[in-house]
Structure 1
Amino acid sequence: MRSLPLRLGALVMAGALGLTGCSFGADDPAGGGGSADATLRVANPTPVVSLNPFAANSADQPTLTVLQGVFETLVVRTDGKLTPKLAESWTNPDPLTWQFALRKDVTFADGTPMTSADVKASLQALIDGKGPLAGLWAAVTEVGTPDGHTLTIRTGTPLGTVPSNLALLSIAPAAKLTDPAFFNAPYGTGPFKVSSFTAGQRVELVRNDNHKGDKPKLAGISYRYVPEVSGRVTALANNEIDVSWGLPPDQLAGLRENKDLTVSSFPTYANYYIWFNSSRKPFTDARVRQAMWYAVDFGKINSSLFNQAGTPAKGPLPEPVFGSAAQNPYGYDPAKAKQLLAEAGYPNGFSTTMMWSTGCCTNGNSFADAMISDWAKVGIVVKPQELERATWLDRLLKLDWDSTMTTGSTVTGDADFSLARLYLSTAKRNGYANPELDRILLAARQEIDQDKRADLYAQAGKIVWDEAVGIFPLDLSGNVVLRKNVQGFTPTPNDLPDFADVSLG
């Protein structure tokens, strides 16, 4: 099969970003020289539209990528295990109570000490923000602060996911959380703080001299949104940027041949998926959703567009995620698709739409073209809707769509983050509601025994897969391209490249 044409995204931003799509300008500190005054120049493939990790963008990968160097969490996942960060330790004195002992030597970037009141306020802000992560904490009945460095979380039902959920809770100063202006240049306890932010274009981080951990080897990190793949590739070759990631596989071979660059590829918790709005006809019928899956030759598309970019998915969760389990595969079967459409009352097909955000996904536009072409062969006419990310996210959360294409990451490494957060009926994320699935997911969330949790998530994954709540074609490999002088970068499977420990040699 010939390579499908790569229809690159819009949003060229020529005036703001220069001819290659990412000129950092003469006033920007350039990388190189090994100086502690150097700034790492990063070209991110997806725009950062908000720096508020407590509301609508609390699970947004671009937001989390930038802010992981700014805000810290009580818990982190290291080599698949949960370990303390801002917490020193935790206990589970009874099935409904978790107690955390907090570090006493931590200050925010403005010099004020971090206390349990800040942690409580941060958790409450996440819950009150009613964003994508709020559902993880639905069982919480009380957050207590017995003293300045002790936090208790009480739940109405057992919640075995509290530590893994806390790996995503940014800790911010309680006094600032109600000030919208704070999120224009937020700070936390992390090694960096935000010095300036232009939504959809750039984020500037500078060193936090009050950080109590290891001091950053960089003076700052400069993020620019560069939508054009060609712009990022040229900028890497021309030493206009130091780092980029999420490049399509057809670009990586040439970059690997460049002696000035290092290409790092690694498995991740991320996957590609296409959701159907199961609350909107014709996708209220599982047979229609299944027909959409059978109608597409994903094997052919994957070999053409995604060579070395990932592996065919075996379930709705990537294999490295705790709780994932292999399911029975859907094959390419247009005749089966037509049969299912006829049984559902659509013998002549139907017309619908599919939306995605500009720059959302590796080879996203070409992938959409290929699926739309195959769907047309069985009578399904799909109108593409490529949207700016803020518009896409707003419509996504309002369920104002027929189907949507995106990539996502189970950033905690725990199945609950994706399965329960996205597929519980109460989540209202994709219009799908199934009482049996709800029962299984809630039981898994409450279960303390990890082996039993894994079995329950395997059952839940089978329902999501068999009911074709979405199509899950690909588990994604990550890639980061760095100039040779970028040292100390360690890939992580959570699909959030972290540059806090990087230096420039």
Structure 2
Amino acid sequence: MRHLMASAALAALVAGTAAAETPKDQLIVAFNMNNVLTMDPAAITGGEAVQILNNVYDALLQFDDEGRNLEPRLAEAWEIAPDNMSVTFHLRPDMEFASGNPVTAEDVAWSFKRTLTLNLAQASGLKSRGYSAENADEMFVAADPQTFVLNLPEPGDPKMILMYLTQAGIGSILDSKLVMEHDDGGDMGQGWLTNNSAGSGAFSLQQWRSNEYVLMTRNDEFWGEAPAMKRVLMRHLPESQSQRLGLEQGDLDVGLSLAASDLKALEADDDITVKTETSAGFYYLAASAADEKYANPKVREALRYLIDYKGINAAIMPYFGVERQRVVNSKAFGALSDPGYALDVDKAKALLAEAGYPDGFDTSIRVISTQEFLDSATAIQGTLAQAGINAEIITGDGGQIYGAMRAREFELLVGRGGGGQQPHPDSNLRALVYNPDNAQEAGLTNYQGWRTSFFDPELNGLIEEALVEPDQAKQTEMYETIQQMIDEKVIPIQPFSERVVTAAFQDNVQGLMVDPWTTRFEGVTKGE
């Protein structure tokens, strides 16, 4: 009977509520889960899966509400060794997983080792930092049941690793005993974890149906303050208008993936709050330095003055981005304020004349067909034309457009990316500027510096030196110097907007964090 009642309640929640108001202790969230393919933390990809698993699994540390500073989570304290080659974590006492099993340092070490052993999607980040299945036993050490030691396999900045390990997926700590009870032929529970959870978070995974819904229920064993919500239902509603209608009718509490037109309409609704938060990466104009024209720094500098930063951000980017001209996200330590570039056609023309192009030239801009990208490219096409640069717009899907960039077969491109999931300058600089080997056969497609054929040994060296600098004040100064050098060297990627994420929710919903990389529902409450 209890199972039948629970099923009936779930059916009512999925279908929507007749009373045009969701229950006070249940949160109904709409989002697009097309990219959610598994619930196994070692195998997830994309921010949508992170939004789910942030609530089911704990990490050692978390970010504060502003997404800038590290705070305790499973670890109540931690110390970085003087040589920056290890971090010692002290776990909170008497914590339990949802199963009732104790949370121990062995579980922490096992979780990281499992990710590397299975070598699924989430292993790539650890491997890029020198970790491997072969060195895992010495890198991840349970000194005693409450003490975990993280060793660094190569010199680096422990702060960067700590920030990275806050993220659901790579940072998720699993109940090793429960998972191994479901080991099937040495898969370390991978098959079982596709549809089940083994975490210590505020909620447990009750049910997941691909491209339908995710149902989470309150974890009564949670070590922290009990969440106000007994259930969280995350519904797959990829159509923005469906999310808007659900919010207007009171069937939804939160909409996480709405189009700009629907967000604008909801802002006029007194019962709905629309909230925007800074996220990771940038919208940018990229040029290929392999092209003869854009190999000239004067031409690249001219491009800086042929972007209407204020116009694009005012007319096109609301809900998607805010003006930003640096390649370091505003939340990162050491981030400088913008250099103040503005649309200046006369200055651009003078630079083009110095470069040998007094009458401009013909070129092309590649861009995906999504509205904010295409509108931005069209605006840039218009301002380029004022200086005599005639740009043909070439559209396509992500595979076609970014595929051309990865193949280094483009002239100009309007895109989005650039790291920044961690508020550390290295995250952006390594994604957008760093390029250790510019040879075509190197194939370093993860580096957008390589994609744009930009190679500067001086900047490469400074980026490496700054990462391993142990003195925080000196490190910050080094990152400031690098940003100033980027201005002088005129790299081929010019951001015009820093990415933001926007959600709409009922006015009585409080405590919601919007950024998918930090979203947790444990602090959400509903007022009258």
Shorter-chain TM-score bucket reads 0.7 to 0.9
> Given residue 102 of structure 1, which amino acid in structure 2 is its aligned partner?
L
Structure 2 length normalisation: TM-score?
Answer: 0.73
1:135 deviation in Å?
6.5
1:283-322 matched pairs, under 5 angstroms: 285=295, 287=297, 290=301, 292-306=303-317, 311-322=322-333
1:69-218 matched pairs, under 5 angstroms: 69-78=55-64, 80-95=68-83, 96-124=85-113, 128-129=119-120, 133-134=125-126, 137-138=129-130, 142-155=139-152, 156-161=154-159, 162-168=161-167, 169-174=171-176, 175=179, 178-181=188-191, 182-197=193-208, 202-218=213-229
> Given residue 239 of structure 1, which amino acid in structure 2 is its aligned partner?
G
Instruction: Kindly indicate whether residue 486 of structure 2 is the aligned counterpart of residue 472 of structure 1.
Output: no
Provide the C-alpha distance between the structure 2 equivalents of 1:461 and 1:312, rounded to a whole number of angstroms: 17
Higher mean C-alpha deviation, range 284-293 or range 91-100: 284-293
Provide the C-alpha distance between the structure 2 equivalents of 1:404 and 1:126, rounded to a whole number of angstroms: 35
Provide the C-alpha distance between the structure 1 equivalents of 2:172 and 2:287, rounded to a whole number of angstroms: 31
Aligned to 1:379: 390
Instruction: Kindly indicate whether residue 446 of structure 2 is the aligned counterpart of residue 447 of structure 1.
Output: no
1:190 deviation in Å?
0.9
1:353 deviation in Å?
2.6
Provide the C-alpha distance between the structure 1 equivalents of 2:48 and 2:494, rounded to a whole number of angstroms: 23
Q: Which has the higher contact order (CA 8 A, sep 6+)?
A: 1
> Given residue 496 of structure 2, which amino acid in structure 1 is its aligned partner?
P
Q: Percent identity?
A: 21
Deviations 1:87-145 (A, max 9, x none): 12112343122211223423333343333233224334556557563367348972222
Q: Measured at CA, do residues 27 and 492 of structure 1 come closer, stay the same or move farther in structure 2, by a change above 3 Å?
A: closer
Provide the C-alpha distance between the structure 2 equivalents of 1:282 and 1:498, rounded to a whole number of angstroms: 48
SS of aligned partner of 2:361: coil
Larger Rg: 2
The answer on whether the counterparts of 1:32 and 1:504 sit within 8 Å (CA) in structure 2 is no
Q: Measured at CA, do residues 384 and 337 of structure 1 come closer, stay the same or move farther in structure 2, by a change above 3 Å?
A: farther
Aligned to 1:367: 376
SS of aligned partner of 1:94: coil
1:34-73 matched pairs, under 5 angstroms: 34-36=23-25, 38=26, 40-44=27-31, 47-50=34-37, 51=39, 53-54=41-42, 57=45, 60-73=46-59
1:452 deviation in Å?
1.6
List alignment gaps of at least 5 residues for structure 1: 1-22
Q: Measured at CA, do residues 333 and 45 of structure 1 come closer, stay the same or move farther in structure 2, by a change above 3 Å?
A: farther
Deviations 1:270-309 (A, max 9, x none): 4532364858657983646555544332322222123586
Q: Measured at CA, do residues 409 and 199 of structure 1 come closer, stay the same or move farther in structure 2, by a change above 3 Å?
A: farther
The answer on whether the counterparts of 2:140 and 2:150 sit within 8 Å (CA) in structure 1 is yes
The answer on whether the counterparts of 2:502 and 2:514 sit within 8 Å (CA) in structure 1 is no
1:312 deviation in Å?
1.9
Cα RMSD of the aligned pairs, angstroms, is 4.2
SS of aligned partner of 2:216: strand
> Given residue 60 of structure 2, which amino acid in structure 1 is its aligned partner?
L
The answer on whether the counterparts of 2:283 and 2:499 sit within 8 Å (CA) in structure 1 is no
1:242 deviation in Å?
1.1
Provide the C-alpha distance between the structure 2 equivalents of 1:494 and 1:450, rounded to a whole number of angstroms: 28
Deviations 1:58-87 (A, max 9, x none): xx3323222211221111122543221111
Aligned to 1:483: 506
The answer on whether the counterparts of 1:31 and 1:242 sit within 8 Å (CA) in structure 2 is no
1:236-275 matched pairs, under 5 angstroms: 236-245=247-256, 247=258, 251-252=262-263, 254-265=265-276, 267-274=277-284
SS of aligned partner of 2:234: strand
How many residues are matched?
A: 470
Higher mean C-alpha deviation, range 288-297 or range 95-104: 288-297
Aligned to 1:4: none
Aligned to 2:8: none
Higher mean C-alpha deviation, range 462-471 or range 433-442: 462-471
